[in-house]
Amino acid sequence: MKIAIQFAMPAEFHALPGMGELAPFETVSGIPFFEVAPDILAACGGVGKVNAAMCAQILCRDFKADLILNAGVAGCFTDLPIGTPVVVSDFIQHDVDTTAVGDPIGLVSTVNQVAFPTWKAETVQTLLSSQGVSAQLGRAATGDWFAVRGSRSEWIRDTFHPILAEMEGGAIAQVCLRNGVGCVSLKTVSDHLFSEKQADEYFDFGEALKQLGRMVLPLAKKLQEMDA
């Protein structure tokens, strides 16, 4: 099975041990693509849903990925400690709103669904456990907005009940759905949305990157051994 690891930021990719000096084998539409192990690719797609969707589509169509592992850091709605790994069970897109024409909040047209489940999330959680990693399982809210404390974050929390906020995963899951490709997502907590210290936490997320870097490639190799 060909696995593609999709990051948003180069810092997340560089957290993988030994990858700091690795050169991309190809750059497509400004996106660098790397081979990090046999039949395991990695890409830094950029921040936000459009960048994420474009990268995921290239991985699906051009590089024939069987499964995309979306990996990165994320803000947290709860009090999970910094660096806590979270296997995303499903994504919602909190900035999609066509309620004016009678749709449920968060409904993504064309595919006509609100929640985008990931591939075998509980199995992924068990795979991590077999590697000595205790990961949480929960929903992530995606949107083109850096989530901070305030009424909007409270509304997202109370409406969709996620434990994480991030900016790419929902778009990746949507692209994977339309291409018939599996989507797995592993995040580590970088900051807390309702903390007065959120900005300090986010701009010093070394622990979140460290935890992410040590887990991602071993998980990708385990996933490679499974049938998609």
Tens of pLDDT, residue by residue over 130-152, are: 999 999 999 999 999 999 999 99
Look at the block and give the residue holding tokens 């490709």.
181
Count of beta carbons in the 10 Å neighbourhood of residue 65: 27
The CATH number of the domain holding residue 42 is: 3.40.50.1580
Catalogue the active-site residues: 12, 191
Q: What is the mean pLDDT of residues 175-182?
A: 98
Tokens of residue 37, six digits: 């192990």
User: pTM to 2 decimals?
Assistant: 0.96
Parent domain of 10: 3-224
* Average pLDDT for 187-209: 92
DSSP string, 78-133: S-PPTT-EEEEEEEEETT---GGGTPPTT-BTTTTBS-EE-SSHHHHHHHHHHTT-
Q: How many domains does the chain have?
A: 1
- Dihedral of CA atoms 8, 142, 216, 225 in degrees, nearest 10, equals -120
